[in-house]
Amino acid sequence: MNPAHPDEGTPVSVKIRERIVAARKRFNANDNIAEFIEPGELEKLLDEVEGKMQGVLDSLIIHTDGDHNTQNTARRVAKMYLNEVFKGRYVEQPPITEFPNAEHLNELMIVGPLTVRSACSHHFCPVIGKIWIGVMPNEHTNVIGLSKYARLVDWIMGRPQIQEEAVVQLADLIMEKTQPDGLAIVMEASHFCMSWRGVREMDSKMINSVMRGVFLKDSALRREFLSLIPGKN
């Protein structure tokens, strides 16, 4: 009889957490932890989350064994969180092909509106909106395809987020990848934690921006960027 492995029976979430703590890294709701997840562990984590979610349903006094509508809800919710709405926490950054700025482009480029799908860290309620990205390249800027901006947005927003932190994370990532002279981001979103619960204010939205590089110094460039965003001038 083979002796039991010392980790046998330890929840996979505990193993992942121990690796993160040992590396002295942060694991807040909007942090990516993919580097600490070993092959095969996401499926085990899915099983663990399903079990915990079933406990939530039991505590809500929902008879999942007898209710045909909720018999598989725990599994569906676990898959939704890990494989869809919070996927940006558990998978590596999408591959981004970068090209040199061979033509020495140095004019303002705007991408958007790109769809934002996220959830607030406070209540896990949906955050749905749009984002516009303005890039002021220079001869050393790495050029990436337009679709890659959408992939980066989806990766950053696919986590429990606070809107003002999310746009900063996105700005840091794009600055790192492209090295432009300037970057401008505007995000507009509806927060279901405000419309679905609490004050239940249905029509309110949050709009915020991040400006980097020449957009901070050049007010004319900021005005040009904002004037080219439909409905924002």
pLDDT in tens, 130-155: 999 999 988 777 778 888 999 999 99
User: What domains, with CATH codes, occur in the chain?
Assistant: 12-90 (1.10.286), 98-227 (3.30.1130.10)
- The answer, yes or no, to whether residue 102 has pLDDT greater than 80, is no
- The answer, yes or no, to whether residue 124 has pLDDT greater than 70, is yes
Q: At what angle do helices 12-22 and 41-59 cross, to 10 degrees?
A: 120
- The answer, yes or no, to whether residue 18 has pLDDT greater than 60, is yes
**Residue 98 has what pLDDT?**
73
**Which position has the token pair 């901070």?**
216
Average pLDDT over residues 29-52: 97
More confident residue, 56 or 204: 56
- The answer, yes or no, to whether residue 2 has pLDDT greater than 60, is no
Average per-residue pLDDT for the chain: 91
